[in-house]
């Protein structure tokens, strides 16, 4: 069901709040028709849909918007849009029959992939590059819920049945998706929720007391918002809602959040409102003209970026630097190797790659719960010293065998590797600034640093820039650092760091107090640390991008620094030994953060889009620091005979505990946590599971100490047990 809106006009201003550098900036769309929907992919890529078949795209952060619609889509109004990349996007239109169109070439051509008589498609969302869900108004007394497993090429409604109650319908832009959890709004005083990606039997609804219409939905943990002229708030994950007074007047459009950031936004008339305390308080953040009726924001690296659009063709772009400081616990993960691992590249909190001796490359896509050997055809004669992964599919790795260095590239997650370059030399560092642009730093050859660049994702390499040197010892692997267009790498034995502020067009030499540097990390364009080798031990600090470097008290005064990670004023430093130290006062002092059971740390990094640290060691060990890995995990074994829910362990616990349960038959499993007063505080499971044995983790980090109860219900079987949280 599409919405109609009223127009109001206010003045433009940009507003900074709570000490953060948050900025909304007006951008030119080139159209004056209503813009109805927007999809932000990352800090640079965004898509917008509007009336008259308008489809706009930017690949440069909104500096330019291009209309990429064509005759295939026609002139029907676009009311839902979902983009996966600069190439792949899906839109829905609203003539008498609803159509969904898909492009895989950036909008040059569009293919109709779905049509339905009636059943207006309200929203389309994807949880990853292949798996998506869309919902629309009911047809033949069932909600139009469709899923795809091939990036939207085909859609199937099997296995996601939800019957219509009375005459209920939905609203465009009214779906929220976080992992497998789906919410969507209705016109019937309820918001639907599924914790199993829309599977049949997994749907529940929460009454939106105070408003019939839920124009949008957004949840950060158990806290969520929805509504129309009256806003409603939930604090229990959508089981119940209550009216809440929010600033402004008129219709609330586009409640938005980025899970894990404690931030919420919503549009009301010409004003965008913002909360930095998980919705406890809101304030006006930006005022434009027209009515802002759609918004899409993403956390892209270390910036929150996105767009909001109006019914008069106006676009506002949001930019907020955002530092995700890792928190949690250190744990050991299983690599399956005992040989040395030299380098790790972390894409986000789920996806990371490591490489090491004997041509070994491992990859995880589930936070390190499983590391898969994806070495493929890379020769075992290569020692792989550095790896950089762009995403779960694209990665480049460099290795050395004898006097030659090689660069291998994969674009299918390591299933196959292509030998992209081989030459005499020693490769030290790789970096990708996009899915196409890659950079290589190697030891000097014939008086010049070995600097290469690829413009096709690492498949072909040519000279990047010329940088003469008298150095004959090279640099250290994993010792370069790239940030935007800034590049730093050291020259062994010369007390020098080479620096470029314009991606290698020009270079300057920075003089440092140490002769050798083995790790460099910056948390901003100006703030950085650098660590020395065992030959020249120490820890350096700069606040002006390296123009000046001063010494800090190193936590490892005699050992090589093998890795540095920074987030805000918190720093982690690993030694080429068992230890990792932490500073929470911007490097003034350090204390022990973690001691590995065996092996020497060779490299450490933080996820580029997330808050997880991984470190690799000389014995194949992988250490992870971050939020506890929570999930429902099948346990191997024979099919159980009886229904069983075991006592949680450990018990007492702080803050994570594990609960095992067994199912002799498949069924809809509900497992909930209650406090001593009988109030529900968490839902651990609410989905259909096959017969088998399972283990579910419960993270009580947001709860206070005390006694809690957990209850399972499945196929008529129920059980309740007590557990104790001690903090």
Q: What is the pLDDT of residues 659-683, one digit of tens each?
A: 999 999 999 899 999 989 888 888 8
Contact criterion met (CB below 8 Å) for 333 and 372: no
Instruction: List all residues 6 or more positions away from 2 whose beta carbon is below 8 Å from its beta carbon.
Output: 36, 77, 79, 94, 120, 171, 172
Query: Domain locations in the chain?
Result: 9-321, 329-626, 632-725
Instruction: List all residues 6 or more positions away from 184 whose beta carbon is below 8 Å from its beta carbon.
Output: 122, 123, 135, 170, 174, 175, 176, 191, 192, 217
How many Å from the N-terminal Cα to the C-terminal Cα in the chain? 48
DSSP label of 98:
E
Pick the CATH number of 632-725 from 3.90.1150.10, 2.30.40.10, 2.60.40.1930, 3.40.50.720: 2.60.40.1930
Alpha-carbon dihedral of residues 514, 515, 521, 522, nearest 10 degrees? 60
- Tell me whether residue 96 is exposed, middle or buried, using C-beta atoms within 10 angstroms of its C-beta: 0 to 12, 13 to 18, 19 or more: exposed
Q: What is the pLDDT of residues 180-190, one digit of tens each?
A: 899 999 999 99
Instruction: Decide which of 413 and 680 is more confident.
Output: 413
Strands (E), 270-328: 271-275, 283-289, 292-300, 303-310, 315-321
The bridge status of strand 361-364 relative to strand 692-699 is unpaired
Contact criterion met (CB below 8 Å) for 8 and 292: no
Q: Name 474's bridge partners.
A: none
DSSP label of 210:
T
User: 3-class DSSP state for residue 713?
Assistant: strand
- Read off the tokens for 566: 């920074």
The C-alpha atoms of residue 389 and residue 320 are separated, in whole angstroms, by: 25
Q: Tell me the fold of 9-321.
A: Methylamine Dehydrogenase; Chain H (2.130.10)
- Read off the tokens for 94: 């609203």
Identify the pLDDT of residue 179: 84
DSSP 127-167: SSSS-EEEEEEEETTEEEEEEESSTTSS-B-TT---B--TT
Please give the C-alpha separations between residue 550 and each of 213, 512, 533, 564, 571, in angstroms, as whole numbers. 60, 8, 16, 16, 16
Instruction: List all residues 6 or more positions away from 163 whose beta carbon is below 8 Å from its beta carbon.
Output: 141, 142, 143
The C-alpha atoms of residue 618 and residue 602 are separated, in whole angstroms, by: 7
The C-alpha atoms of residue 281 and residue 247 are separated, in whole angstroms, by: 9
Q: What is the pLDDT of residues 707-718, one digit of tens each?
A: 999 999 999 999
pLDDT surpassing 80 at residue 14: no
Identify the pLDDT of residue 1: 53
Q: Name 490's bridge partners.
A: 497
R_g of the chain computed on alpha carbons: 27
Q: What percent of the chain has pLDDT over 90?
A: 81
pLDDT surpassing 60 at residue 364: yes
Q: What is the pLDDT of residues 297-342, one digit of tens each?
A: 998 877 899 999 999 999 999 999 888 889 888 989 999 999 999 9
The C-alpha atoms of residue 258 and residue 216 are separated, in whole angstroms, by: 14
Please give the C-alpha separations between residue 116 and each of 81, 112, 184, 236, 467, in angstroms, as whole numbers. 17, 11, 20, 35, 61
pLDDT band at residue 254, thresholds of 50, 70 and 90?
very high
DSSP 4-22: -----EEEEEE---TTS--
Secondary element (H or E) of residue 624: strand 622-626
Q: What is the pLDDT of residues 109-120, one digit of tens each?
A: 999 999 998 889
**Same topology for domains 9-321 and 329-626, yes or no?**
yes
- Read off the tokens for 676: 């001593």
How confident is the model over 38-63, as a mean pLDDT? 95
Pick the CATH number of 329-626 from 1.10.3210.50, 2.40.30.110, 2.130.10.10, 1.20.58.1180: 2.130.10.10
The C-alpha atoms of residue 502 and residue 603 are separated, in whole angstroms, by: 27
Identify the pLDDT of residue 7: 29
Q: What is the pLDDT of residues 520-572, one digit of tens each?
A: 999 989 999 999 999 999 999 999 999 999 999 999 999 999 999 999 899 99
Identify the pLDDT of residue 678: 86
Residue 623: which of 387, 372, 395, 346 has the closest Cα? 346
pLDDT surpassing 60 at residue 8: no
pLDDT surpassing 50 at residue 19: no
- 655 prior amide bond cis, ω within 30: yes
Alpha-carbon dihedral of residues 285, 286, 291, 296, nearest 10 degrees? -70
Task: Give the chain's mean pLDDT.
Answer: 92
User: Given the structure tokens 């949690």, which residue do they identify?
Assistant: 328
Contact criterion met (CB below 8 Å) for 526 and 519: no
Q: What is the pLDDT of residues 616-672, one digit of tens each?
A: 999 999 999 998 777 777 777 788 999 999 999 999 998 889 999 999 999 989 999
Contact criterion met (CB below 8 Å) for 684 and 641: no
How confident is the model over 255-269, as a mean pLDDT? 93
Residue 498: which of 524, 466, 538 has the closest Cα? 466
pLDDT surpassing 70 at residue 4: no
Identify the pLDDT of residue 16: 29
Identify the pLDDT of residue 98: 86
Q: What is the pLDDT of residues 56-101, one digit of tens each?
A: 999 999 999 999 998 889 899 999 999 999 999 999 997 667 899 9
- Tell me whether residue 358 is exposed, middle or buried, using C-beta atoms within 10 angstroms of its C-beta: 0 to 12, 13 to 18, 19 or more: middle
Find how far residue 584's CA is from the centre of its chain: 24
Identify the pLDDT of residue 20: 41
Identify the pLDDT of residue 601: 98
Global pTM? 0.68
């Amino acid at each position: 069901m599409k919405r109609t809106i009223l127009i109001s006009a206010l003045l433009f201003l940009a507003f900074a709040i709570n000490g953060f550098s948050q900025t909304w900036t007006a951008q030119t769309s080139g159209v004056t028709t209503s813009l109805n929907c927007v999809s932000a992919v990352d800090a640079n890529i965004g898509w917008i849909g509007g009336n008259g078949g308008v489809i706009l795209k930017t690949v440069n952060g909104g500096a330019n918007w291009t209309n990429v619609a064509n005759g295939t889509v026609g002139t029907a109004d676009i009311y839902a849009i979902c983009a996966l990349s600069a190439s792949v996007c899906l839109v829905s239109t609203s003539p008498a029959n609803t159509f969904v169109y898909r492009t895989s070439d950036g909008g040059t051509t569009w293919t109709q992939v779905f049509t339905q008589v009636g059943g207006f498609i309200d929203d389309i969302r994807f949880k990853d590059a292949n798996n998506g869900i869309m919902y629309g108004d009911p047809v033949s007394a069932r909600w139009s819920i469709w899923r795809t497993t091939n990036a939207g090429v085909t859609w199937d409604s099997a296995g996601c049945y939800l019957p219509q109650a009375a005459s209920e319908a939905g609203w465009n832009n009214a779906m929220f998706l976080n992992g497998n959890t789906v919410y969507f709004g209705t016109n019937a005083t309820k918001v639907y929720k599924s914790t199993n990606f829309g599977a049949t039997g997994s749907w529940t609804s929460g009454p939106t007391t105070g408003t019939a219409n839920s124009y949008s939905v957004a949840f950060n943990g158990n806290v969520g918002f929805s509504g129309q002229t009256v806003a409603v708030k939930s604090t229990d994950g959508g089981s119940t809602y209550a009216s809440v007074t929010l600033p402004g007047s008129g219709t609330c459009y586009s409640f938005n959040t980025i899970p894990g950031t404690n931030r919420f936004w919503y549009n009301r008339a010409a004003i965008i409102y913002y909360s930095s305390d998980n919705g406890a308080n809101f304030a006006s953040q930006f005022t434009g003209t027209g009515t802002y009726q759609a918004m899409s924001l993403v956390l892209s690296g270390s910036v929150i970026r996105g767009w909001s659009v109006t019914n008069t063709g106006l676009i506002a772009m949001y930019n907020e630097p955002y530092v995700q400081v890792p928190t949690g616990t250190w744990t050991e993960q299983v690599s399956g190797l005992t040989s040395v691992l030299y380098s790790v590249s972390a894409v986000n909190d789920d996806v990371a790659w490591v490489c090491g001796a004997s041509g070994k490359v491992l990859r995880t896509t589930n936070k390190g719960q499983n590391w898969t050997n994806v070495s493929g055809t890379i020769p075992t004669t290569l020692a792989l010293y550095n790896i950089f992964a762009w995403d779960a599919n694209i990665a480049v790795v460099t290795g050395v065998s004898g006097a030659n260095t090689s660069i291998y590239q994969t674009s299918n997650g390591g299933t196959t590797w292509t030998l992209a370059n081989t030459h005499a030399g020693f490769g030290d560092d790789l970096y990708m600034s996009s899915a196409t642009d890659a950079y290589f730093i190697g030891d000097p050859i014939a008086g010049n640093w070995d600097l290469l660049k690829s413009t096709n994702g690492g498949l072909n390499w040519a000279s990047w820039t010329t940088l003469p040197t008298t150095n004959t010892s090279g640099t250290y692997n994993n010792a370069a650092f790239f940030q935007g267009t800034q590049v730093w790498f050291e020259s062994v034995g010369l007390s020098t760091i080479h620096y470029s502020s314009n991606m290698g067009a020009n270079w300057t030499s920075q003089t440092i107090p140490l002769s050798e540097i083995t790790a460099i990390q910056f948390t901003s364009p100006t703030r950085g640390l650098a660590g020395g080798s065992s030959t020249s031990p120490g820890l350096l600090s700069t606040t002006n991008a390296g123009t000046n470097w001063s010494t800090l008290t190193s936590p490892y005064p005699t050992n090589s620094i093998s890795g540095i990670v920074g987030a805000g004023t918190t720093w982690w430093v690993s030694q080429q030994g068992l230890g990792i130290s932490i500073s929470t006062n911007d490097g003034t002092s350090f204390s022990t953060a973690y001691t590995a059971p065996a092996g020497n740390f060779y490299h450490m990094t933080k996820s580029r889009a997330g808050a997880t640290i991984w470190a690799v060691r000389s014995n194949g060990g992988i250490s992870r620091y971050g939020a506890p890995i929570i999930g429902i995990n099948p346990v191997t074994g024979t099919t159980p005979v009886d229904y069983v829910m075991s006592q949680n362990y450990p018990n007492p616990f702080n803050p994570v505990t594990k609960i095992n349960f067994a199912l002799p038959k498949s069924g809809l499993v509900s497992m909930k946590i209650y406090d001593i007063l009988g109030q529900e505080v968490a839902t651990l499971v609410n989905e259909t599971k096959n017969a088998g044995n399972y283990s579910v983790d419960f993270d009580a980090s947001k709860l206070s100490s005390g006694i809690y109860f957990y209850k399972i219900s499945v196929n008529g079987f129920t059980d309740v047990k007590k557990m104790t949280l001690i903090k």
